[in-house]
């Protein structure tokens, strides 16, 4: 999943089409093989195909095609396949994960007699419904924003009044331009929902002739897997949810405070670790100092003719993003401490080296906005109230982001909070990390409490998406082979201490 940042301008406004009185989805059974080169894949060990699905399962007016990649079982496929559900949703989709296909098929003996299936969802690359508004003219909005920012300002310094009076109209024009462009291509908001994508999974199952399937859902992929679990439990052998996103979470509104919560959880780990606390006893205070300094006096840097900048929010965003993967954890305290010293002594060598990667960039994945603004309601007053609770972390989240949240949700028409009963006995394995910044451990506790046959594995000092970790791999392999008789491996009790980096004096 991704943070909603500056170029939410690329998010769009699309009419909702009329509904239908039909109550039974018109599941597709149309699949045909194709050359993998059509998806820029140069592999002879993979089977590639196209799944044709209706744009709307209850009132179809056209069809979309979805790209499918299958790693066939090494032997006879006598067991039900595993379908991988990627996070995001992202513009690139799952087909860029060829290395993950290889890793899964080579690390799990279960794929000796199981097919492994990857595919890109509606709206993603290589689908006929690929969402892109690159041809829409956004020059007026960009010019208005540039004028408002000036030479010494950044996004985090824009206030609500400035957004409303200076850039809202041009921002809205950009959204409407994108809406008109996509509508002319026959792409409507109503067609890009988690519910339709769940029906796509059922179309895939039926088209390929599988009696039952297994789902491996990571991040947003877990949200989609839960949707399928609610709709088609009888067709599931098992489900794995890694970094789980429940359907009833406060996901979009939670984004305002999750920076603070995630970073503070990490600081607590450092505080309890003798090595980290010994080297960085004032880590939180140093972080707040650096963030507030960069908020009040953003750092601008020019390298090879390109201009870069870091302000308080962009620093917080990048520290937050580094919390996704445990592999980054050891160096975060050192990075903060060094930035603190550079600002104190007015020597910005390290900050210059970070500037080219820490400058905020746009999120161009339209499908992310399509899905999440329909799945998760937001309210401006709630967002503003959440920002008021940030306290000393106030400069980690800008009013600009709150206002773009509001605009995008309003133009999409939004959804309502739902909570599914999950009245089935499908075996479900949940994997979460105590330091997951985007789908925190209490999301996993939420869904575990509501499922009938689930096991929640919590890995200490791990972040987001952990089935590839040593313990996650062991748990996953055991689960796929035993399911209803599954017992977690002993490694779930490991403390997994972080080996924090401390520079030699």
Please determine, for residue 1, whether its predicted confidence score (pLDDT) is greater than 70.
Answer: no
Please determine, for residue 127, whether its predicted confidence score (pLDDT) is greater than 60.
Answer: yes
Integer Cα distance of 229 and 223 in angstroms: 10
- For 48-130+190-248+419-493, which CATH class? alpha beta
Instruction: Please report, for residues 108, 179, 256, 414, the alpha-carbon distance to residue 193 in angstroms, rounded to integers and kept in the order given.
Output: 32, 16, 24, 11
Please determine, for residue 409, whether its predicted confidence score (pLDDT) is greater than 60.
Answer: yes
Q: Grade residue 7 by pLDDT with cuts at 50, 70 and 90.
A: very low
Question: pLDDT per residue over 35-84, tens digit each?
Answer: 999 999 999 999 999 999 999 999 999 999 999 999 999 998 889 999 99
Look at residue 360 in the predicted model and tell me its pLDDT.
56
Look at residue 388 in the predicted model and tell me its pLDDT.
95
The answer to whether 232 and 410 have CB atoms below 8 angstroms apart is no
What integer is the mean pLDDT of 431-444? Answer: 97
Task: Specify the pairing of strand 213-218 against strand 236-242.
Answer: parallel
Candidates 186, 208, 184, 204; CA nearest to 55 is: 186
C-beta pairs of 266-272 under 8 Å, 24+ apart in sequence: 266/323, 266/329, 266/332, 266/435, 269/435, 269/461, 269/498, 270/333, 270/500
Q: How many other β-carbons are positioned within 10 Å of the β-carbon of residue 324?
A: 20
443 dihedral zone (left: phi>0; alpha: psi -120 to 50; beta): alpha
Question: pLDDT per residue over 296-340, tens digit each?
Answer: 998 888 888 888 888 899 899 999 999 999 999 999 999 999 999
The answer to whether 74 and 38 have CB atoms below 8 angstroms apart is no
How many alpha carbons fall within 13 Å on the CB side of residue 494?
A: 16
Q: Grade residue 359 by pLDDT with cuts at 50, 70 and 90.
A: low
Q: Give residue limits of the domains in the chain.
A: 48-130+190-248+419-493, 147-186+251-415
Candidates 422, 472, 424, 78; CA nearest to 240 is: 472
The answer to whether 373 and 16 have CB atoms below 8 angstroms apart is no
Q: What is the pTM of this model?
A: 0.93
Question: Poorest-confidence range of 139-153, 264-278, 458-472?
Answer: 139-153
Tell me, letter by letter, the H, E, C secondary structure of 237-277. EEEEEECCCCCCCCHHHHHHHHHHHHHHHHHHHHHHCHHHH
* E strand map for 86-231: 116-119, 213-218
Question: Poorest-confidence range of 87-91, 205-209, 389-393?
Answer: 87-91
Q: Grade residue 19 by pLDDT with cuts at 50, 70 and 90.
A: very low
Say whether 45 sits in a helix, a strand or coil: coil
Candidates 176, 118, 153, 82; CA nearest to 480 is: 82
Say whether 487 sits in a helix, a strand or coil: coil
Question: pLDDT per residue over 96-126, tens digit each?
Answer: 999 999 999 999 999 999 999 999 999 999 9
Question: pLDDT per residue over 235-249, tens digit each?
Answer: 999 999 999 999 999
Dihedral (CA of 100, 102, 108, 112) sign: positive
Say whether 21 sits in a helix, a strand or coil: coil
Please determine, for residue 2, whether its predicted confidence score (pLDDT) is greater than 70.
Answer: no
């Amino acid at each position: 999943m991704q943070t909603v940042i500056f170029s939410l301008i690329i998010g769009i406004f699309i009419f909702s089409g009329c509904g239908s009185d039909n109550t039974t989805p018109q599941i597709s059974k149309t699949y045909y093989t194709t050359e993998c080169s059509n998806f820029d894949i140069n592999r002879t060990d993979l089977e590639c195909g196209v799944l044709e699905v209706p744009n709307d399962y209850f009132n179809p007016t056209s069809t979309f095609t979805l790209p499918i990649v299958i790693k066939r079982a090494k032997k006879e496929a006598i067991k039900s396949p595993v379908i991988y559900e990627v996070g995001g949703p992202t513009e690139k989709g799952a087909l860029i994960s060829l290395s993950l296909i290889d890793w899964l098929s080579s690390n799990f003996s279960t794929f000796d007699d199981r097919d492994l299936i990857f595919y890109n969802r509606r709206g993603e690359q290589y689908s006929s419904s690929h969402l892109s508004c690159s041809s829409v003219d956004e020059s007026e909005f960009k010019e208005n924003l540039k004028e408002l920012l000036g030479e010494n300002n950044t996004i985090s310094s824009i206030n609500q009044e400035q957004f409303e009076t200076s850039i809202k109209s041009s921002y809205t024009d950009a959204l409407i331009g994108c809406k008109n462009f996509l509508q002319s291509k026959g792409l409507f908001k109503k067609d890009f929902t988690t519910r339709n994508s769940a029906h796509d999974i059922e179309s895939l199952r039926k088209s390929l002739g599988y009696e039952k399937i297994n789902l491996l859902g990571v991040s947003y992929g877990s949200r989609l897997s839960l949707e399928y679990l609610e709709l088609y439990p009888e067709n599931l052998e098992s489900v794995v949810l890694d970094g789980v996103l429940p359907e009833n979470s406060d996901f979009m509104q939670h984004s305002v405070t999750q920076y603070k919560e995630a970073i503070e959880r990490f600081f607590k780990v450092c505080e309890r670790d003798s090595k980290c606390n010994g080297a960085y006893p004032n880590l939180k205070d140093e972080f707040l100092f650096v963030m507030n300094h960069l908020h009040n006096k953003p750092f601008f840097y020019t390298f090879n003719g390109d201009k870069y900048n870091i302000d308080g929010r962009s620093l917080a965003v990048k520290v937050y993003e580094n919390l996704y993967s445990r592999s980054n954890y050891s160096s975060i305290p050192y990075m903060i401490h060094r930035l603190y010293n550079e600002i104190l002594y007015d020597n910005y060598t390290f900050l210059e080296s970070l500037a080219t990667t820490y400058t905020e960039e746009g999120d161009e994945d339209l499908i992310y906005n399509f899905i999440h603004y329909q799945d998760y309601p937001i309210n401006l007053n709630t967002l503003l109230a959440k920002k008021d609770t940030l306290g000393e972390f106030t400069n980690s989240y800008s009013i600009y982001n709150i206002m773009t949240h509001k605009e995008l949700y309003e133009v999409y028409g939004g959804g309502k909070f739902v909570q599914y009963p999950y009245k089935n006995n499908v075996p479900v394995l949940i994997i979460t990390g105590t330091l997951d910044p985007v789908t925190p451990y209490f999301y996993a506790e939420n869904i575990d409490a509501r499922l009938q046959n689930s096991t929640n594995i919590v890995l200490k000092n791990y972040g987001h998406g952990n089935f590839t970790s040593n313990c996650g791999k062991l748990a996953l392999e055991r689960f796929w082979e035993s399911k209803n008789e599954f017992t977690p491996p002993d490694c779930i009790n490991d403390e997994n201490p972080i080996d924090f980096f401390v520079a030699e004096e």
